[in-house]
Structure 1
Amino acid sequence: MANIWKSSLSARFKQRRFTATVESVRLYGCAAWTVTSKLAKELDGCYTRLLRSMRNVHWKQHMTNKELYGDLPKLSDKIRERQTRFAGHFYRNKTEPVSQLVHWIPKHGKRKQGRPALTYIDMLKQDTGLETTDMTTAMQDRKIWRAITVRGHHST
């Protein structure tokens, strides 16, 4: 890829190549991940380094991330959107057993001492700003759920 990034090809072509190759590999299966804030920070940092490489911007050039990203969203934002869209899609698809698992909360056993692990439903609550009952209602209507996923957070 370094040959392409250092070539005289147009910036638009390089960005499209970057999206098609690097992004697709980094985001493979992300809809089912549980992303903690630490993991999101690591993923965004790696993505920023890859963008700098693609755009031939050395870190010593002190380009801000806002300038570097331009109109591209952060990787963690793309992951969040894919996860919420995925959850809504499978919740509405009642013919698949996974539709019942989107809101599954274990009711047996105990959580380990300390900070509890982030579950999928916890992550959806955090990303949408909705409680489980409100989330269920929103997921049933594709247009409402789509508006929530695109916006990133539900406004109250």
Structure 2
Amino acid sequence: MERSMLNIRKYDRVKKALIRNKTKTTDVINKIKRLKWRWAGHMARGHEKWSKKVTWWYPREGKRKRGRPQKRWDDDVRQVAGVTWNRVAQERKEWKRLEEAYADWQADLGKIKKQQILV
């Protein structure tokens, strides 16, 4: 979309960062990650909400299927804020500070995956 706004084709080989500087738009993936982080904090601070109950619910068996474990919704949040992220979310200033770290961590993770694919 940004390329079409500036009338730039992929054939022109203009870097994505340069296009972003010209259009002054934010990265959609980064924005989504920040919104997820904010929702997690909002949900953790809520009282007796169904979304909070569903997030902390685990099946009675307590095991996942054989093979690569499926990721849970809060696995990403746990990697940045720790296992007790719901306690950290109670402090709004600390949670806001960690939001930047979470978004940067996700962006770096995406770059690493792209490099692995190219190799």
TM-score (norm 2): 0.70
Matches within 5 A, 1:18-97: 50-70=1-21, 71-97=24-50
- Contact kept, 8 Å, 1:92 with 1:139, in 2: the verdict is yes
Q: Residue 140 of structure 1 aligns to a residue in which SS?
A: coil
Residues 125-152 of structure 1 show CA distances to partners (whole Å, capped at 9, x for unaligned) of 24xx12221x122111122112211343
Residues 63-93 of structure 1 show CA distances to partners (whole Å, capped at 9, x for unaligned) of 1011012254422211110001001101111
User: What amino acid is aligned across from residue 16 of structure 2 in structure 1?
Assistant: N
Give distance in 1, aligned partners of 2:81 and 2:42: 17
Give distance in 1, aligned partners of 2:9 and 2:92: 43
Cα offset, 1:108, TM superposition: 2.0
TM-score (norm 1): 0.56
- Contact kept, 8 Å, 1:52 with 1:68, in 2: the verdict is yes
- 1:138 maps to 2:88: yes
Number of residue equivalences = 102
4+ residue stretches of structure 1 with deviation over 4 A?
Answer: none
Cα separation, partners in 2 of 1:111 and 1:82, compared to 1, 3 Å: same
Q: Residue 97 of structure 2 aligns to a residue in which SS?
A: helix
Q: Residue 14 of structure 2 aligns to a residue in which SS?
A: coil
Give distance in 2, aligned partners of 1:116 and 1:102: 17
Give distance in 1, aligned partners of 2:14 and 2:101: 27
- 1:116 maps to 2:86: no
User: What amino acid is aligned across from residue 36 of structure 2 in structure 1?
Assistant: Q
- Contact kept, 8 Å, 1:91 with 1:100, in 2: the verdict is no
Give distance in 2, aligned partners of 1:106 and 1:56: 52
- Contact kept, 8 Å, 1:87 with 1:102, in 2: the verdict is no
- Contact kept, 8 Å, 1:84 with 1:124, in 2: the verdict is yes
- Structure with greater contact order relative to length (CA < 8 Å, sep ≥ 6): 2
User: What amino acid is aligned across from residue 67 of structure 1 in structure 2?
Assistant: L
